[in-house]
A and B are shown apart, each in its own frame.
Chain A
Amino acid sequence: MSQGLNRIALATLAFVLAAVWGLPFLYSIWTAFHPEKYSANFVWNAPLTLSNFTEAWKAAPFALYFLNTVILITTVLVANLILCTLVAYAFVRYRFRWAGILFSFVMVQLLISPEILIVENYLTLSTIGLTDTIIGIALPYLTSAFGIFLLRQTFMTVPKSLDEAAQIEGASAWRVLWTVYVPLARPVYLAYGLVSISFHWNNFLWPLIVTNSPEVRPVTVGLSVFATVESGIEWSLVNAATLMTTAPLIIAFLIFQRQFVANFMRTGIK
């Protein structure tokens, strides 16, 4: 009986939380497809329109911005996966002098918010002439303390015997990494990839500051044109632009949803 009640309570809580999460999203869909007049005015037969999207699309070179964002996140993700894997592997597999101190240096980076480093990073980029380039936006993020930490913890859970068995079979260090560690950490890679992609998709201030040309700017910069504080906010336009820029992420999530959830569950259980 009390178990039944518990389930009902849990289900209610789940519904409430889902509604809290979902309402703003539903609202943005509503306003994006209706004229501005209906943005706070819910009439079931309000005329539908796509003009908000066309207007938003024209307000900035979004096609170019999308391409830049894709190049940016791909660069960052590929570099992250390679570098973090190698660093984590070294920390787990090899005993070397200063390993503990080096790892603590990596961990300390988790405490520093990237915004503090904006001026310093800009100075570095400016010295090597990489401001206003996509690689310049990506450079400070090519490796990630969080990624190293996450992979190190995962690699540590790999049974030593698997590693040793592979070595007895004559596998080199590279081969052990590739055939033993990496496959076992797949769920972590997926989870990390998702977090990394959504972070860099949303990153705004840093790309805004280091870039000047539309040719290298990401979608978030295009989106910010609509944050028109001074003249009041046109919610229909803002929401159309927001939906448009987040759509690729949302669609990707829907497609891979089952896999994401399953992977998160597995990583969570460990």
Chain B
Amino acid sequence: MKTVYKTALPLVMGMALASAAPVAKAADLEFYFPVGVNAPAVATIEQLTNAWAEQNPQHTVKAVYAGNYEETTTKALTAAQAGSPPQVAVLLAIDIFTLIEEDVIIPITDLATSPEEQAWIDGFYEGFMVDTRFDGKTYSIPFQRSTPVFYYNKDAFRAAGLDPEAPPTTWDEMVEIGKKLTVKDENGNVTQWGTRIPNLGLAGAWLFGGLVVSKGDVLSTDTGTEARFDTEAARASLEFLQRLADEEVMAPGGITWGDTPKAFLEGQAASIWTSTGNLAFVNENVEFDWGVGFLPGGDGPGAPVGGGNFYIFKDTTDEEQAAALEFIKFMTTPENAAIWSMATGYVAPRADAWATPEMQDYAERLPQALVALDQMPHAYREFATFQRARVTQYLVDAIEGTITGETDAASALAEAQEKADDILGEYR
């Protein structure tokens, strides 16, 4: 397969040069994609890529499942370093700095230059575009993007004498309402916690970014060289997490991401903070009346955005790059973005996708999906810098150290800041 493609391409190009007659610009694309949601998503990806190949018989595209985000990035970088990169891949939006540093991607705006293409790029929600830009260029196109929302159990709200249509909107309300939602049995053991915010690992750092945004600050800026850990907003956010545990609104100690939806479904938590990617899963398995609201915020609403974008790789031919761009355009048409969003729970990244009849029906069936969209103007990019993996780990360590009581918020964040500055100093 590989060798055929390698010998065929120069041949085709040679023919094009020799004959000067219009030749269909054929390209064989390899498209690496990760699966971050449910297993059936693989089938949806294949359905979409096959549809593109049918519409463009001169091209072929091979969708290559490449593990989770981290593994897909490793695979794409390895292949790129060996000189055989995929033409197009879906990788984390926040990996932009890593990919630029490794010099393996081409800015989308270098390829999409026509006015129509400019309009297409402008059609994506700004909240999803902030982390695609570097140095005045757009490097990626939003595809599977998510943002966390506040899921709550309306039956539990009623049982506690609370208004099921009025979820908490501020941190103080969260504490106040959460205290009422925490239920203990006669032995004093908690059977239902007021809320559940995952605070371990990268997911914990992701949600933490939303807390900081709601306090009017950010953890990182678009230069990729600045980490803002030792700030008033970050300290307040970490103290809020501690306060939830201290006031028995949330279980003390570490809280995992993966088990959070289940804790909600099984009634162990009356509310959870988790990704819109769980909407379909919760909706299918839920046995009580439930609702979704904005994440309660410090000074106002605030949330992080996360997820993966399309990147086009260097070391590929002009024909391949052009075909890759066409492929990305196809995957983000209103209809296809709607199909992908409905299959997975990711937030469709364009307003025109939400205007399709299918999406309108979906929003009617699952009005909870609209909350994430309404929250988008308050959402800001996820933490991203050069050397992201290492720098994020310092933040993770600071959060985990504080919630387990090993250290206090202020000194943990100050230490993380110092270590991050050590690394990022080189890039400034």
Contacts and interface: CB of A to CB of B under 8 A. Distances in A.
A228 B40 contact: no
Contacts of A131: 2, 84
Nearest to A129: B3
B35 to A, nearest CB: 6
Listed from nearest, the 7 A-B pairs whose CB atoms lie closest are A232-B261, A230-B36, A59-B39, A233-B258, A126-B82, A212-B64, A123-B82
Contacts of A225: 35, 39, 42, 65
Contact of A36 (B82, B258, B285): B285
Interface of A: 36-37, 39-41, 59-60, 118-119, 122-123, 126, 129, 131-132, 205, 208-209, 212-213, 221, 224-235, 237
13 contacts: A122-B78, A123-B82, A126-B82, A126-B84, A205-B71, A224-B71, A228-B38, A231-B36, A231-B278, A231-B281, A232-B262, A232-B281, A237-B39
A230 B277 contact: yes
B68 interface: yes
A248 B225 CA distance: 50
A123 B85 CA distance: 12
A132 B266 contact: no
A59 B278 contact: no
Contacts of A60: 39, 42
Which of B258, B285, B345 has the largest count of A CB atoms less than 10 A from its CB? B258
A62 to B, nearest CB: 12
A132 B274 contact: no
Contacts of B65: 221, 225
B75 A208 contact: yes
B426 interface: no
A99 B262 CA distance: 60
Contact of B40 (A40, A59, A233, A235): A59
Interface in B13-69: 30, 35-40, 42, 62, 64-68
B82 A208 contact: no
B101 to A, nearest CB: 16
B57 to A, nearest CB: 21
Contacts of B71: 205, 208-209, 224
Given A209-B78, A229-B68, 17 more contacts: A40-B266, A59-B40, A59-B42, A126-B82, A205-B71, A209-B71, A209-B74, A212-B30, A212-B64, A221-B65, A224-B71, A228-B39, A229-B36, A231-B278, A232-B258, A232-B262, A232-B274
Interface residues of B, number: 43
A16 B207 CA distance: 39
Given A60-B42, A123-B82, A208 B146 contact: no
A59 B71 CA distance: 19
B92 to A, nearest CB: 11
A229 B257 contact: yes
Chain A interface, DSSP helix/strand/loop, else mixed: loop
Given A229-B257, A231-B345, A212 B285 contact: no
Contact of B74 (A59, A126, A205, A233): A205
Contacts of B64: 212-213
A126 B83 contact: yes
Given A59-B42, A213-B1, A232 B74 contact: no
A10 B347 CA distance: 57
Contacts of A119: 78, 81-82
Interface in B330-380: 345
Contacts of A40: 262, 266
A224 B68 contact: yes
Nearest to A217: B65
A137 to B, nearest CB: 14
Contacts of A212: 30, 62, 64
A205 B77 CA distance: 14
A230 B266 contact: no
A242 to B, nearest CB: 13
Interface in B266-310: 266, 274-275, 277-278, 280-281, 285
Contact of A232 (B3, B75, B278): B278
Contacts of B277: 230-231
A29 B244 CA distance: 36
B116 interface: no
Which of A37, A118, A224 has the largest count of B CB atoms less than 10 A from its CB? A224
Contacts of A59: 39-40, 42
A232 B35 contact: no
A230 B35 CA distance: 9
B130 to A, nearest CB: 21
B2 A132 contact: yes
B42 A129 contact: no
A197 B203 CA distance: 35
A118 B78 contact: yes
A232 B30 contact: no
Given A129-B3, A225-B65, A231 B82 contact: no
Interface in B240-268: 257-262, 266
A16 B66 CA distance: 40
Contacts of A235: 262
Contacts of A37: 285
Nearest to B72: A208
B303 to A, nearest CB: 15
Nearest to A205: B71
Contacts of A231: 36-38, 261, 275, 277-278, 280-281, 345
Contacts of B280: 231
Contacts of B281: 231-232, 234
A170 B302 CA distance: 86
Given A126-B84, A129-B2, A213-B1, A227 B278 contact: no
